Structure 1
Amino acid sequence: MNKADIEQFYTKWQANLPQRIEGYIYNENRKILPTRFMFAKFKKVIEKFLNDELPETEKIVLMPGIRGIGKSTLLAQTYAIEKFLKPKDRNLLDNIGKLDEKLYLDVSQLRADQISLNDFFNFYEEVKGFSFEKPQKKILLLLDEAHFDENWGLFLKTIFDRTKGHKDILVIATGSSALQIKMIPDLGRRTDIWEIFPMKFNEYLILKYAKYPVSGLSGYLRDALFNSSNAAEVFERLKIKSLEIRKFFIESVLPNTERNFFESGSFPSAIRIENKQKAVEKIKSVIDGIIAKDIITLQRFKTQTIAKIGDLLYLLAQSDLISYSKLKDALKIERVETLESLIEVLVMSGVLIRVKTYGKTYGSTRKTPKLLFVTPSIRSAVLNNIYLTGIEGKKLEDYFALIYLKDLQSHGRYAVNLSYDLAESGADFVLTRRDRSNIVIEVGFNKEETRQVENTLKKTGGKYGLVFGSKELELVSDSIIKIPLRFLLMI
C-alpha cells in the first residue's frame, strides 16, 4: 500500500474525528448522553491499564454483539472518557494523565480506502516513533468494526504476540457478532471477550427518559428471585421492595412505556425515533445487515437458501413451537441439515437463542428446541408489531432469555442452564442453578394461572416456581410465588 495514501487517510480521519465523536456522545441539544451499564466495565479496565494491573489476557478486549446496540457509542464514550468521569471515579481521575496516546479508528473506513490494519499500523508506528514491542508510553487503541479487515484475527494475534513482556498497550475492538470470533481458532484464548447485549428495561428508562431506577435494586431482585432457598424466602425478600417498585412506576414510568420498550426499546439506535414504523424499519435494517454483512460473507449457503432467512424468522416469530420438519417443508428446504446450519448461524450471529428441552428423555436438539429472539424488539419488528392470538406472550419469553444470557448465565453467577418443559401443560422455562437445583418459571401478560409451574415442579423436583405477570405479589403455596411483571423489568 502506498504510504502517501495512508498518510492522506490518517490526516483526513484525524481532522474529522472530533465531529464524529461528538455525534456519538452528545444529543441534538449538546447535552451529554447517558452511558449504558456496561460503561462501568470500560472505566475499570482503563483504570487497571493505567495502574499496570492488566493481566496478559485482558490487554485485547473484543466486543461482539448484534448491530445497532451501541457498540460504536461505547467506544466513542471510552475515547472521550474524561467527560464521563465523576467524583466517585477518583482513582481514574488521578491517573488519566498517564494515558499518553489514544486512537479511535473505524476499520470499515479503512476497508473503503483499501487499507489493511497491518499496513495502517506499520505507518502509525513509524509516524508516532514507537514499536509495539517497546512502546515506552501508554497507548489506547479503539478499533470499531474490526471484522471489516479480512485478516483482523491474525492482526490481533500479532499485536498480542508483539506486546508480550509489557503492559503499555490496550486494544478494545468491536465486531458485528460472535460469529467471526467463533470462526477464528485460538483468538478467544488471546482476548477478553465482552459480549454486548440489547438493552433491558431499566437501561431503556435511563437512555430514553433519563429515569434512574433505585441504586442496587437490580442486583437485589436478581439475588432474591434466583438465589433463595425456597418460595417463602423469595416472597419475603420481594415484599421488602414491593412498595419501592410501585412508587417508582407511579412516579417515573409513563403510560405505555412497557409496550413501547417491547416494540423497539432494546436498541439504542431506535429509541430516539418517535415514529413507530420508522423505528421498526430501523430494527429491520439491523436484521438485513446481519444477513448481508455477516452471513453472506461466510459463503456457506447458496443464494436461494439465504433468501429464505426472512421467511424463517417470520415463521419463528409468529409461532409458539414449530418442528424442524415443518419448518423445512414450509420453507421448501431440501435437507434438514441445511435448515439446522441456517439456524445455527442465526444463533451464533446473536439473533436467536436456542433453548433445549428439559431432561434426557427428549433426545437431541432436533426434538423441537425453543427458538427465541435475543430481544422482543426483533420479534416485534419481524411481525410489524402485529401478533396473532396467543403469541404476544412470546415477547416475554424472549425477554427472560435475554436476562438469562446477560445476568444469570454470565460468569456462572446464578445459573448454568436454561431449558423448557416440552409437555403441553409444561412451564416456559426450567432454570438450573450452579448447585444443579432447578427453578421453574412461567411468564405472561395478566398471568394468574399456576398449573404449568405445578406440573413442571413435580417433574423436575424443582426448589420453587415463579409465575411472572400477576396483578399482585402472592405466595400461592410453599413452592410457588406469583409476581407482577414490574419485578422482572427492574432486574
Structure 2
Amino acid sequence: MKPSTGDLLDYILARLREGPRFTQDQIQRNDKKFKHRYAFSKLKTHVDNFLEGKDENRFLIMPGLRGVGKTTLLFQIYEYLTKEKGIKQDQVLYISADHLSEYLGGKIIDAVDVFIGEVHRKTPVTLDEELFILIDEAQHDKEWSNAGKILFDQSKNIFMIFTGSSALSLELNVDAVRRSKKESIFPLNFSEYLLLKHDINPPPGTSTSIRKLIFTGDIEDACQRENELMRGMLRLPQPLEKEWEDYLCCGGFPFGISLDNHDIHEKTFDMLDRVIEKDVSLIRSFRSDTRSSIFRILMFLAIQRAGETSEGKLANDIGISSSLVKDILSILEKTHLIFHIKPYSGSARTLVRKAWKYYFLSPSIKTSINFELGKYNPKRREFLGELAENMVASYFFILQKTMNTPHGIFYAAEKEGVDFLLSDINGEIIPVEVGIGHKDQRQIKKAINKYNSQHGIVISNKHKKITREGDVIYIPVIMFSFL
C-alpha cells in the first residue's frame, strides 16, 4: 500500500532532523574523522560546479560493491555542504531506499515530491533554491532511474546522487543514461590504503608516470617519481614491504583500516554473504538451493591458482548444469565480485577455444575466502604470487573501466604464455608477466617476439627499482601498486 503524504512527511522530517547526528556517526570513529577517498574530490568538484551554476552533472550515479565506502562518501558530501558551503540543514535530504521501502513501502519519487512540496512549499518547476538529494541503496526502488530523470528534467536546482550495488547501472533506462554521470566506486588501491591508514600520499603524478611507463616505455619520469616515493615512505611505521603485504591480503576495503586481520576476513566474508543474499536476487531470481552453488563457485575460484575456468569441469565438480554455472558466473560479474579475462585471439573473427580466466575485484576477497576455508597462508610465496597476479589484473580492469586504457586485456592462450596481453586501439600488444620470486626473461622475450611488441613488462619483486634491459622493463610489484 502506498504511504500517505502525512506518513511520508513525518519520515522526511525525521531524516532531516537526524541528518547532522547521523552524519557524524558515519564519518568518524572515536572522534577521529575518516580521511577522504580520491572519489570524494570528484564528487566535491561536481557539487562546486553545481553551486557555481554549471548544471551539466547534477544527476550522479555511484555504483559499487558493498563495503567500498559509498555511504561514507555520501555523508562526507553532506558534511561538506552543511559545514563548508553553508547549505541549510533542510536543503539536504539523505534517504536509504532500502529503509524507505522496507518501513513505508515508499518510492523515491514520492518522498522527494513530499520533501519539495510539503517542506519547501514548492514544486520542482517553481523551486528557486538549491536542494540536494542523497539516495543510498537506490536499487531497492526499481523506478529509481526514472525518478532521477524526471527530477533532472523538472528543475535545474536539484542535485542528486544515487548510490547502489554494482548492478545499479544495469537498471538505467536510456533517457537516464543521457542525463546522468556515473562515478563508480572500487575497492581501495594501495595509495588510498596508505592515505586512509597513515595519512601518507605518493608524490603527485606517480600514477600517471607508471601508466606512461607501461604503455609507452618511458622510464625516465617513473624513475624520478620512484626516488621521491621511496623517500616519502620512510615516514611509515613499518617497512613498506610489510605494509604492501598487509594491503595485498587485507587492505581492499575501508572498513578494515582499523580492524585486525581476523576481523577483516570475517567482515569481508559477511559482505560476500550479503551480496549473494541481497544483490544477486535483485539481478536474477534463483531457486533457494542455488545459493549454496554460488558460494561453492566462489570457493572454487578462490582456492585455485588463476587459470582457465572450464564451465564443464566446474559443473561436474559442483554437481549442477553447465548452463547454471554460466548464469552464476555472469551474475557474479554483474555484482563486480569477479571479472573475467579472455584468451587473446589476434582478431575479432578468430575464435580461441580456451576458457576464460576469472579474478576477484580485490585480492582481499580471495584472501578472506581462503581464510574461511582454513587455507590462508600469507607466508607461502606461491599464495602471495597469486594475490599479486589478482591485484595486477584488478588494477588493469579498473583502469580500463575508468580511463578506457588499455583498450583490451587478454591472457596468452599458448602453453607457458605470459599472464596478460594489453592491447591499444590499433591492436598493438604489450605483454605483461607477474610473479613473486625469480622471473627470468624467457617468457617475456618470447611474447615480445611473438606479438612484435615494442617492449614487455615484468612485474615482480626481483628488482628493487624500475629497470630497463633492452626491450624488457622490470617494475617492482610494490611500485606498480601505486598505479
Q: Is the TM value for this pair above 0.5?
A: yes
Task: Measure, in 2, the Cα distance between the counterparts of 1:372 and 1:288.
Answer: 18
Distance in 2 (alpha carbons) for counterparts of 1:22 and 1:459: 57
Aligned to 1:191: 180
Secondary structure of the 2:255 match is coil
**Which amino acid is the alignment partner of residue 210 of structure 1?**
D
* Aligned partners of 1:473 and 1:481 also within 8 Å: no
Other-structure match for 2:341: 355
2:479 partner letter: F
Instruction: Tell me the TM-score normalized by structure 1.
Output: 0.88
Q: Describe how 1:302-341 pairs up with structure 2 within 5 A.
A: 302-319=287-304, 320-321=306-307, 322-334=309-321, 336-341=322-327
Distance 1:84 1:326 in 2: 57
TM-fit CA distance, 1:376: 0.4
TM-score with structure 2 setting the length: 0.90
Q: Deviations over 1:163-204 (max 9, x none)?
A: 3xxx31111110111x24214432433321111100001100
- Post-superposition shift, 1:206? 0.8
Alignment-derived partner of residue 168 in structure 1: 157
1:34 Cα offset (Å): 1.0
The 5 A counterparts of 1:433-444 are: 433-444=424-435
Q: CA 1:133 to 1:277, structure 2 compared with 1: closer, same or farther past 3 Å?
A: same
> Paired residue for 1:281, among 252, 266, 286?
266
The range that moved more, 363-372 or 167-176, is 363-372
Is the aligned partner of 1:431 residue 2:419?
no
Question: Deviations along 1:57-85, whole A, 9 cap, x unmatched?
Answer: x2211100000000001110111115886
Find the counterpart in structure 1 of residue 169 from structure 2. 181
1:3 aligns with 2:44: no
In 1, distance between residues paired with 2:42 and 2:141? 26
Indicate conservation of the 8 Å contact 1:448/1:482, yes or no: no
Counterpart amino acid of 2:256?
Answer: A
The more displaced of 194-203 and 305-314 is 305-314
SS of equivalent residue, structure 2 residue 431: strand
Q: Are the structure 2 counterparts of residues 45 and 463 from structure 1 closer, same or farther at C-alpha, using a change threshold of 3 Å?
A: same
Matched to 1:110, the amino acid is L
Letter in 2 for 1:150: K
**1:450: how far off?**
2.4
Matched residue, 1:24? 26
| Stretches of structure 1 lacking an aligned partner (at least 5 in a row) | 86-92
Structure 1 residue 247 displacement after superposition: 2.4
Residue aligned with 2:339, SS: strand
> SS at 1:34's partner residue?
coil
Does 1:247 pair with 2:231?
Answer: yes
Q: Could you tell me which residue of structure 2 aligns to residue 42 of structure 1?
A: 43
Q: How does 1:210-221 map to 2 (within 5 A)?
A: 210-221=199-210
* 456-465 vs 356-365, which moves further: 356-365
Residues 73-222 of structure 1 aligned to structure 2 (within 5 Å): 73-81=72-80, 101-114=91-104, 115-127=106-118, 128-163=120-155, 167-177=156-166, 179-186=167-174, 187-222=176-211
Q: SS of the residue aligned with 2:38?
A: coil
Which has the higher mean CA deviation after the structures are superposed, 312-321 or 467-476? 467-476
Which residue does 1:485 correspond to in 2? Answer: 477
The structure-2 alpha-carbon separation of the partners of 1:257 and 1:197, relative to structure 1 and needing over 3 Å to count, comes to same
User: Partners of 1:373 and 1:363 in 2: how far apart?
Assistant: 27
Residues 65 and 335, structure 2, Cα contact 8 Å, conserved in 1:
yes
Q: How far apart are the structure 2 equivalents of 1:100 and 1:112?
A: 24
1:26: Cα distance to partner?
2.1
Q: Distance in 1 between matches of 2:173 and 2:201?
A: 41
Aligned length: 467
- CA-based RMSD: 2.4
Q: Does the CA contact (< 8 Å) of 2:448 and 2:455 recur in 1?
A: yes
The aligned counterpart of 1:368 is 355
* Cα distance between partner residues in 1 of 2:237 and 2:454: 33
Residue-by-residue CA offset, 1:192-226 (whole Å, 9 max, x unaligned): 11111000011000111222222222222222332
Give the 3-state SS of the residue equivalent to 1:386 in structure 2: coil
1:41/1:180 Cα in 2 relative to 1: closer, same or farther (>3 Å)?
closer
User: Is the 1:98–1:138 Cα contact (8 Å) retained in structure 2?
Assistant: no
Mapped to 2, the partners of 1:82 and 1:194 lie a distance apart of 19
Q: Distance in 1 between matches of 2:442 and 2:82?
A: 53
Are the counterparts in 2 of residues 50 and 98 from structure 1 also a CA contact under 8 Å?
Answer: no
Distance 1:476 1:223 in 2: 14
Residues 264 and 380 in structure 1, CA contact (< 8 A), matched pair in contact too: yes
User: What residue in structure 1 maps to residue 244 of structure 2?
Assistant: 258
Query: In 2, distance between residues paired with 1:292 and 1:326?
Result: 26
